[in-house]
Structure 1
Amino acid sequence: MKKAYYLLLLIATVFSCKNDTKTNGKLNVVTTTTMITDLVKNIGGDAINVQGLMGSGVDPHLYKASEGDVSKLTNADVIFFNGLHLEGKLVDVFEKMEGLGITTVALAEKIHKNGLIGSENFASNYDPHVWFNIEYFKEFTKQVTNTLSEQDPKNKALYEANEKAYLSKLDKLEEDIKGTVNALSEEKRILVTAHDAFNYFGRAYGFKVVGLQGLSTVTEAGVQDVQKLASFIIDHKVKAIFVESSVPKRTIEALQKAVKSKDYEVIIGGTLYSDALGNAGTPEGTYLGMYRYNIKTIVKALL
C-alpha cells in the first residue's frame, strides 16, 4: 500500500509540473518494449521524440517503473505499450496516465480476440507475445501510424509513407522466414525454450513450442517441470534447446543436465531474442534483424 501511495503521489507531483509545450515542436512518445520502440522510430522518424523505457535484455514481465520512468510518462503526448498484461507491473501506471488525459495505446489489445492464444497465466487471459506473428506486427504498424497521424496531422503524409515502406519490409521478412523454415522437416519443428514466448511463432510456422517456465517468467520452473520436459525431449529426440536473452540461462542449463542424467545428449542451440531485442546498433537490435537471427539460429541447430 505504501508503494502504491508513493507512486500516486509521485505521478501527481510530476504531472503538476508537466510542460505542455512539445519538445522542439515534436510529439513526445514513450514506449515500453524494445520491439515497440523500434517500430515507433521506423514510423515516426525524425518527426517525433521517442523514449523507450526498456532496453536490451530487459524482461517486461518483471519490469517496474522508476521515478525517471514516471517523469517520462507524465510528460508524454502518446504512450505505446504491448498490453495483455505483458508489462504486468506497469498496469496501474498506465491506467493513471490514461486518467490524466494522456493518449495510451495497448497495441496487442487491438487485435481481434479470435486471433489470440488463450492463457490462464495472465490477467488478460491471453498470451501477450503477439509480435512473433508478423501479421500481428503489421497490425501494430497500422495502429502506430493511425495514432501518430491523429495526434500530429501535419506529418500524416510522412507517417503513412514510412508505414508503406515498413510494411513492405515486413512482407519481405515473412517471405524469407517461410523459405528458411521449409528447410526443416515437420518432425524436427520442436522448439524448447526458457519460457513460452514463441507460441504465435509456432502457430504461424508449424512448430510445437514448449517453454520450461510457461508463458510468464514470474514463476520459477520446479524440479518436476524440469524432469517432465527432459523426458519429452528424449521421447521426441529433440536435438537442441534454446536460451533466451531476457531470461537467466540457468534454467535451460539445468534442463540440459537433467536430460544428460537420462543418458541422452541435447545441445544448447544458441540464445534467442524473445521479450527484448539485441543491443542497439546491431542487426539484432531491430525487429527485422532479431527475427532473421532467431530463425537462422533455430533452423541451424535443429537440422
Structure 2
Amino acid sequence: MKKITLLIMLIALVSCKNETEDTGKLKIVATTSMITDIVKNIGGDFIELQGLMGAGVDPHLYKASEGDVAKLYNADIIFYNGLHLEGKLVEVFEKMEQTKTTIALGESLPKDQLIGSEYFASNYDPHVWFNIQFFKQFAMTVTEQLSKKDPVNSVNYIANEKAYLAKLDALETEVTATIATLPEEKRILVTAHDAFNYFGKSYGFNVVGLQGLSTATEAGVQDVQRLSDFIIENKVKAIFVESSVPRRTIEALQAAVLYKNHEVTIGGSLFSDALGNTGTEEGTYIGMFKSNVNTIVNALK
C-alpha cells in the first residue's frame, strides 16, 4: 500500500502543470513552519515561498496531499528539516533528489553535536531548532543555497542573513536572562513528547516526555504511571501540553498524579513541532521561543 501510494503521488507529480504566474523569482517550498519562517527572513521579497505545514501541524504524522506534490514539483528549492522529522515524506524527497534541489537542513549539522537515540529511525533527535546555535547554522545554509541558485540577489540574501543572525543573538541573550531567574532545582520540564532535549541541554533543564521523540506511537499506561511517580518524587509543580500533540495525553498524566493524592498543574501550552498562527508573534520562530521560555519559567517558579 505504501509503495502504491508513493507511485500515485509520483505520477501526479510528473503530470501536474505549473499554473502559477512566472515572476522570475525563485520558487521555494519549505516543510515545517519553523523552516518556512527562516527562509522567509532570508529570502524576503526576492523569493516566492510556500510552506506545507501550518500552525499546530505535527510533522511526524504529516502526509503529502496532491496539492503538496504540485508545489514540490514546481519548486526551485525544497527546504526540509530532515533527520526523519518528516517521516512520511522521506521517500518523496529521496525520489526528488534526482531532479530537484532538496536541502535537509538538519543533515548538515555536526553529528557529534546531535543527541542520539536508539529508538528513532535516524538515530538522532530531529528537534534541532530548539538549539538557537543550530538555527543560526540553518540561516547560513539557506543563504548559501539561495545565493547559489540566484547569484543576482546574493547581496540581498547575505544582508538579510546578517540582520536575522543579530536578532537570534538578541533572542539568546533575552531567554538566557529569563531562565536565570528560575532556580536550577526547579528546572524539570515534563511535556507530551521528547521535543525539548536540545532546549534542556542548552539551558540546564531535565526534560522528560510522556511519549518518545516521535508522536507516531502513543504513550501507554506504564508510561503514565512511571512519569506520575517521577513527578511526585521530584515535586514537579507544573507539566505542559504541546500545540501539536493532543491535550488528553497530559491530562491523563495529571489525573494519574491526582489519583495518588498529589497535585500538579498544567502550566500552559508549548509550541513544539510547529509555530503559532500566522500573523501572531508566536507565528515566528523568535516569538515562539520567547513564548515557550516565559510559559515554562512562570509555571515552574
Scaled by the length of structure 2, what TM-score is found?
A: 0.97
Instruction: Give ranges in structure 2 of 5+ residues lacking alignment.
Output: none
Q: Residue 188 in 1 paired to residue 219 in 2? A: no
The reply on whether 1:300 has 2:293 as its aligned counterpart is no
Relative distance call for 1:33 and 1:79 in structure 2 (3 A) is same
The Cα shift of 1:8 comes to 2.4
Q: Does 1:27 align with 2:16?
A: no
C-alpha contact (below 8 Å) 2:187/2:205 kept by paired residues: yes
CA distance in 1, matches of 2:18, 2:53: 23
1:247 aligned partner, one-letter code: V
Map of 2:127 onto structure 1: 129
TM-superposed CA distance for 1:263, in Å, is 1.1
Q: CA deviation at 1:20?
A: 11
Q: State the shift of 1:214 in Å.
A: 1.3
SS at match of 2:185: helix
Q: 1:209-247 CA deviation, whole Å, 9 max, x = no partner?
A: 000001110111011100110000010000000000000
Any conservation in 2 of the 1:11–1:74 contact (CA below 8 Å)? no
CA 1:83–1:70 in structure 2 vs 1: closer, same or farther (change >3 Å)?
same
Q: Is the 8 A contact 1:22 1:28 kept in 2?
A: no
TM-superposed deviation, 1:6: 4.2
Question: How much does 1:259 deviate?
Answer: 0.4
Q: Which consecutive residues of structure 1, in runs of 5 or more, have no partner in the other structure?
A: none
Do 1:189 and 1:208's aligned partners in 2 also have CA atoms closer than 8 Å? yes
1:265-285 CA distance string (max 9 Å, x none): 100000000000000000000
- Alignment equivalent of 1:172, drawn from 170, 173, 183: 170
Q: RMSD between aligned alpha carbons?
A: 1.4
The answer as to 2:54 corresponding to 1:64 is: no
Provide closer, same or farther for how the CA distance between residues 214 and 125 of structure 1 changes in structure 2, counting only shifts above 3 A: same
Distance 1:15 1:132, change over 3 A: same
Q: Distance in 2 between matches of 1:166 and 1:272?
A: 23
- Alignment match, 1:238: 236
In the alignment, residue 77 of structure 1 is paired with which amino acid? D
CA gap 1:22/1:80 in 2 versus in 1, 3 angstroms: farther
- In the alignment, does 2:268 pair up with 1:270? yes
Task: Work out whether residues 34 and 56 of structure 1, in 8 Å CA contact, stay in contact via their aligned partners in 2.
Answer: yes
% same residue: 69
The 5-angstrom pairing of residues 7-46 of structure 1 reads: 7-19=6-18, 23-46=22-45
2:222 is matched with 224
Partner-residue secondary structure (3-state), 1:194? strand
1:247 and 2:245 matched: yes
Q: 1:18: how far off?
A: 4.8
**How many aligned residue pairs are there?**
301
**Alignment check: 8 A CA contact 2:16 2:70 kept:** no
- Tell me: CA distance 1:65–1:21, structure 2 relative to 1, closer, same or farther (3 Å): closer
Q: How far apart are residue 12 of structure 1 and its match?
A: 3.6
Paired position in structure 1 for 2:200: 202
Q: Distance in 2 between matches of 1:69 and 1:59?
A: 16
* CA distance in structure 1 between the partners assigned to 2:24 and 2:14 by the alignment: 20
Q: In the alignment, is the contact (CA less than 8 A) between 1:121 and 1:216 conserved in 2?
A: no
SS of 1:86 mapped into structure 2: coil
**Residue 10 of structure 1, CA deviation:** 3.5
* CA distance, structure 2, for counterparts of residue 251 and residue 66 of structure 1: 28
Mapped to 2, the partners of 1:184 and 1:152 lie a distance apart of: 46
Report the AA paired with residue 188 of structure 1.
K
| Cα deviation code 1:237-265 (max 9, x no counterpart) | 00000000000010100000000111111
Query: Aligned partners of 1:151 and 1:122: how far apart in 2?
Result: 33
Specify which of 133, 138, 141 is matched with residue 140 of structure 1: 138
Distance 1:20 1:105, change over 3 A: farther
CA contact 2:12–2:69 (8 Å) conserved in 1: no
Query: In the alignment, which residue of structure 1 is the partner of 2:96?
Result: 97
